[in-house]
């Protein structure tokens, strides 16, 4: 085989008590799409940040085309031809596409920025890759898919030999994913190397030539695409057998109970002043899961906040119960306080709960017990009891948050992409939990008797997800949210392709 474009040998890196990378190795060759797989917290993003020079490794070495890369320098990595498309957008909204692309490049001399040259090169790139962009448009007004295109073009602009993409598909609809994969294939056909971080196995297997699997900071598998299958990869990722995460047959169905929330012609203004949600009507009943699909940035955040009573709608009326659990999308700035420890983060939801206080004082012993139950019940891996949320990996933060929100016994649960970031076992566990929650606890329901509402009547559940399979799998009623409008999905369109069509069809509205 030819010499590798990128070779990482025995890379290690600690964050305080956490060993993010222990012995991670990776070899990616020119002309291949190389998938980097692993559970959350396995060290995928950390490894790629080492490659890009954003993190200095504690040990090990990085070679690009047989030349050793000095550790911890983004310039050296960029000069060696490494480009990265980050999981979260790194664009400045008030600048135009071309200005964003020009950031960090050396276009122009002295004080003058040669934007015309940027425009010219962008036009050329657009032609070569088939990625359409309006170079003069401010980024703020672009759709999420278009922003993703800009991120990719920004990376391609420097003509990288190696392009790293960190979970690029989460913000894309099914058709856009196909299109992105087409672009990646054409890139590697030109002799480049694409490193693709992903978590959806079937998606990754469609495009990858080779895969590397990380588990707890170590490389546990490196193989060609033909040599592996989804169950084998899943096994490698979590280190043991799993039940297949297939469609849970009994998820859908069941009697819906009394209404717990109602939105009438609700409109919500987003932070940028535009209407993020328009004329939404929705009723949610106990014991049902309402699934809302759609790509990110179509008003999910605003609608979820209104449904959960965290935000007042700009127009229309929202009638919501008092106890609403919310699993917000923006988990880094959302549900948890990074500097708080486990008990304190639990207290965010329980500090005024009668079982967790004595008069005006917080009963920290009770709070710790509840936190312990969440940690145990959801298999949150914590380095120690006083661990702050900041010291947990993304997936474990997510488990802590989900566990806390489910523990509140809400009347309504609003969840935005609750499975995202969870490993396979945890996702399966949460899926079962949601179904169980929706059905209510039968023994408790019996005690309640006829007429009176049982103490633990099942909540209504609203599930926002960019993963259409997840929505189709779990939801009793299915909608798509497109540019702030909620569109019911008719029975005959209840499949990913049909929902994708609905999402695209209304895109221009």
Partner 1 sequence: MIRRALRARLGSRWIGPLAAGAVALLAAALLAAAGLALAGYEPVAAGRALVSGAFGSWERFASITLVRATPLILTGLAVALAFRAGVWNIGAEGQLYAGAVAAVWVGLAFPGAPAWLLLPGAMAAAAVAGGLWTLVPVGLKFRAGVGEVITTILMNFVAIHTVAWLVHGPLQEARGVFPQTDPVALAARLPRLGSGRLHAGFPVAVVLAGALWWLLRHSAWGFRVRAVGASARAAAVSGRIHTGRVVLGAFLLSGMLAGLAGGVEVAGVTFALYENLSPGYGYTAIAVALLAGLNPVAVLLAAGFFGVLQAGAAAMQRDVGVPAVWVSAIEALVILAVVAADRFLRRGVAGKGGG
Chain residues in the site for partner 1 (CB under 8 A): 15-18, 20, 38, 40-49, 55, 197, 214, 305, 308-310, 324-326, 328, 330, 333-340, 344, 347-352, 357, 360-362, 364, 386, 390-391, 393-394
Query: For residues 455 and 483, what is the distance between their CA atoms, to the nearest angstrom?
Result: 38
CB of 160 to partner 1, least distance (A): 21
Query: For residues 43 and 15, what is the distance between their CA atoms, to the nearest angstrom?
Result: 11
Nearer to partner 1, 352 or 436 (CB): 352
Nearer to partner 1, 88 or 247 (CB): 88
Take residue 181 and report the two structure tokens written for it: 């994969």
In 315-366 the beta strands, taken as DSSP E runs, fall at 315-319, 324-327, 357-358, 361-362
Nearer to partner 1, 223 or 362 (CB): 362
CB 185 within 8 Å of CB 212: no
Query: For residues 125 and 292, what is the distance between their CA atoms, to the nearest angstrom?
Result: 35
Query: For residues 298 and 334, what is the distance between their CA atoms, to the nearest angstrom?
Result: 18
Nearer to partner 1, 18 or 184 (CB): 18
Take residue 15 and report the two structure tokens written for it: 């964050």
**CB-based contacts of 205: which residues, under 8 Å, 6+ apart?**
35, 225, 228, 229, 230, 233
What 176-180 contacts at long range (C-beta under 8 Å, 24+ apart), as own/partner pairs, is 176/145, 176/148, 176/295, 177/203, 180/148, 180/152
CB of 289 to partner 1, least distance (A): 20
Nearer to partner 1, 336 or 468 (CB): 336
- Is 151 in a helix, a strand, or coil? helix
CB of 292 to partner 1, least distance (A): 18
Take residue 222 and report the two structure tokens written for it: 């490196």
Please give the DSSP secondary-structure letter assigned to residue 433.
Answer: H
CB of 37 to partner 1, least distance (A): 11
Nearer to partner 1, 27 or 308 (CB): 308
Nearer to partner 1, 427 or 480 (CB): 427
Please give the DSSP secondary-structure letter assigned to residue 227.
Answer: G
Query: For residues 351 and 345, what is the distance between their CA atoms, to the nearest angstrom?
Result: 10
Nearer to partner 1, 126 or 353 (CB): 353
Query: For residues 170 and 161, what is the distance between their CA atoms, to the nearest angstrom?
Result: 24
CB of 304 to partner 1, least distance (A): 10
Take residue 350 and report the two structure tokens written for it: 């329980």
Take residue 20 and report the two structure tokens written for it: 């993010």
- What is the edge-to-edge ordering of all strands in the sheet holding 210-215? 67-68, 59-64, 6-15, 18-28, 218-224, 210-215, 33-38, 193-197, 162-166, 82-85
Bridge partner residues of 468 (DSSP): none
CB of 352 to partner 1, least distance (A): 6
CB of 295 to partner 1, least distance (A): 22
Query: How far is CA 502 from each of CA 149, 430, 480, 489, 492, rounded to the nearest angstrom?
Result: 21, 28, 7, 8, 12
Nearer to partner 1, 409 or 497 (CB): 409
Q: What is the 3-state secondary structure (H, E, C) of 18-33?
A: EEEEEEEEEEECCCCE
CA 338 from centroid of its chain's CA atoms: 18
Residue from 444, 467, 476, 498 nearest 198 by CA: 467
CB of 305 to partner 1, least distance (A): 8
Nearer to partner 1, 36 or 474 (CB): 36
CB of 327 to partner 1, least distance (A): 10
Nearer to partner 1, 157 or 464 (CB): 464
CB of 448 to partner 1, least distance (A): 25
- What is the edge-to-edge ordering of all strands in the sheet holding 412-416? 324-327, 412-416, 460-465, 289-293, 477-482, 485-488
CB of 180 to partner 1, least distance (A): 21
CB of 103 to partner 1, least distance (A): 22
Query: For residues 106 and 428, what is the distance between their CA atoms, to the nearest angstrom?
Result: 48
Nearer to partner 1, 41 or 81 (CB): 41
CB of 18 to partner 1, least distance (A): 5
Nearer to partner 1, 362 or 445 (CB): 362
Place of tokens 């990085």: 62
């Amino acid at each position: 085989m030819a010499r590798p474009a990128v070779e990482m040998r025995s890379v290690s890196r600690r964050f305080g008590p956490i060993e993010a990378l222990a012995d991670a190795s990776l070899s990616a060759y020119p002309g291949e799409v190389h998938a980097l797989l692993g559970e959350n917290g396995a060290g995928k993003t950390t490894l790629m940040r080492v490659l890009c020079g954003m993190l200095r490794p504690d040990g090990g070495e990085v070679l690009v085309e047989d030349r050793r890369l000095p550790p911890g320098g983004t310039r050296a990595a960029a000069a060696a031809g490494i480009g990265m498309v980050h999981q979260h957008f790194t664009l400045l909204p008030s600048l135009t596409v071309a200005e964003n692309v020009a950031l960090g490049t050396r276009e122009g001399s002295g004080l003058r920025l040669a934007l015309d040259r940027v425009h010219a090169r962008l036009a050329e790139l657009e032609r070569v890759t088939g990625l359409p962009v309006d170079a003069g448009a401010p980024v703020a007004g672009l759709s999420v898919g278009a922003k993703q295109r800009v991120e990719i073009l920004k990376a391609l602009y420097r003509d990288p030999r190696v392009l790293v993409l960190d979970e690029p598909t989460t913000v894309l609809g099914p058709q856009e994913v196909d299109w992105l994969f087409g672009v990646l294939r054409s890139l590697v056909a030109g002799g480049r190397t694409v490193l693709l971080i992903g978590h959806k196995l079937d998606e990754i297997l469609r495009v990858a030539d080779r895969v590397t699997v990380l588990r707890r900071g170590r490389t546990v598998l490196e193989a060609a695409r033909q040599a592996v299958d989804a169950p084998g990869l899943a096994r490698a990722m979590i280190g043991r057998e799993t039940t297949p995460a297939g469609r849970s047959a009994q998820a859908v169905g069941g009697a819906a109970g009394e209404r717990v929330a109602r939105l009438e012609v609700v409109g919500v203004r987003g932070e940028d002043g535009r209407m993020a949600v328009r004329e939404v009507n929705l009723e949610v009943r106990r014991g049902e899961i309402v699934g809302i699909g759609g790509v990110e940035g179509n008003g999910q955040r605003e609608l979820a906040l209104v449904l959960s009573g965290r935000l007042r709608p700009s127009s229309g009326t929202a009638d919501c119960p008092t106890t609403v659990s919310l699993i917000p999308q923006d988990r880094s700035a959302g549900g948890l306080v990074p500097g708080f420890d486990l008990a304190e983060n639990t207290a965010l939801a329980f500090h005024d709960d009668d079982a967790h206080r004595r008069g005006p004082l917080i009963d920290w012993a009770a709070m710790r017990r509840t936190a312990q139950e969440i940690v145990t019940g959801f298999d949150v891996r914590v380095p120690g009891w006083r661990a702050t949320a900041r010291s947990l990996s993304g997936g474990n933060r997510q488990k802590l948050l989900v566990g806390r929100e489910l523990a509140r016994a809400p009347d309504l649960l609003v969840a935005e992409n609750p499975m995202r970031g969870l490993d396979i076992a945890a996702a399966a566990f949460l899926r079962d939990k949601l179904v169980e929650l929706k059905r209510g606890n039968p023994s408790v329901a019996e005690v309640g008797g006829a007429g009176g509402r049982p103490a633990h009547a099942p909540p209504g559940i609203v599930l926002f997800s960019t993963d259409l399979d997840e929505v189709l799998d779990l939801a009793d009623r299915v909608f798509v949210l497109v540019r702030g409008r909620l569109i019911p999905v008719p029975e005959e369109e209840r499949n990913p392709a049909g929902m994708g069509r609905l999402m695209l069809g209304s895109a221009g509205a």
